[in-house]
Structure 1
């Protein structure tokens, strides 16, 4: 078993999506730092704070995916869809294809990775022998945790 599999229970696709989600987080933090160093706006503190808080939040979502936390999937999908929109606008109306196309590809890649079969099975807590519908009816990951607590004797 690889070290990454020991650290994170998430499938490889989810961890890759976490790495791709970290890129805009680092970019937002870098923009905040760059503004702090070179900015002269009267609202400089607010601008810097906005980019830093947003960047840290995106990095938290990326870390959640990397460490196999199911809560990070939805906000990471939102970030990816925003990236697709930003990339489309940069490539189309702004005529900045050099920046827009890679941004758009990164966003699409995260969406595809988080909707692959292994990623869906992970977020549902699906057992190897059951279908997605059965896992959803059982309650997914929370249902599996409740079953485990019910089956294990109290160790107090």
Structure 2
């Protein structure tokens, strides 16, 4: 089990990740949150995948501050501690971040990763170069296709 960002500013996200086999495959895990204005906190990802892994994303309330406990109750239990402070990114409302819906929503947590245009371009060039090499090899004198 790992906690990505155990200390966050208001409206930032923290992820709690359990590896394969921690929960039963496909298990719907009960999640409880306690702390200042915990009813306004939100999370997503309370169902284990086919291997029993689970990734939950937690977002504290806009006016949250202090320590929050996120408890998991399923085939196994666990309690995570996340600390929320009013730092440089403090906001009046967390509505600007649709990545986590209010309440429980099943699905995987958003990681924020993107595919770089350089990766797409590099892949296209590699594919083109491979095609040119295959064509050149097939046109070599004395080349006989195998049957």
Bin of the TM-score, shorter chain as denominator length: under 0.3
Based on CA coordinates, which of the two structures has the bigger radius of gyration? 2
Higher helix share: 1
Structure with more of its chain in strand, by fraction: 2
TM-score with structure 1 setting the length: 0.24
Question: Normalising by structure 2, what TM-score?
Answer: 0.25
